[in-house]
Amino acid sequence: MTSIPTSSLAVAGAVIGSAMVELPSAWEYSVTRFDCADDTYYLLDQGVVTSNPTLHSTLTALSAVVQFLLPAAILLFCTTRLVQALRESGRIQRRYCSVAVRSNTP
């Protein structure tokens, strides 16, 4: 059976993994300001992630895996274990009730 610390570690791992995948997108763009005479111009540099199609596709796929598929797998696992625990609890309760009823009959 899964313990509470194991579940906490799984959730923490998903959060940390998500943050690690999203960090490169925080540095993906940079804006440079140019002052020319009376006008101000801004240059948007899209960075290496956007300009490299292979890297961009890889990061997008990795992001989908870490942010959707991994948490979905964790939720599926936890839900399955919960259903198994509830079924086992019902079996134990029925067994206990049948033993308690038999022991109370004269």
Comparing C-alpha atoms, which of 13, 47, 48 is closest to residue 32? Answer: 47
Q: Which pTM does this prediction carry?
A: 0.50
Question: Which pLDDT value is given to residue 57?
Answer: 84
Is 31 strand, coil or helix?
strand
For residue 41, the cross-strand partners are 34
46-105 pLDDT, tens digit each: 776 677 788 778 888 887 887 788 788 888 988 898 899 999 998 888 888 776 666 666
Q: What are phi and psi of 41, to 5 degrees?
A: -120, 150
96's tokens: 């206990």
Length of the chain, in residues: 106
Helix (H, G, I), strand (E, B) or coil at 26: helix
pLDDT in tens, 33-47: 888 888 888 887 777
* Contact criterion met (CB below 8 Å) for 59 and 49: yes
Domain edges within the chain: 4-104
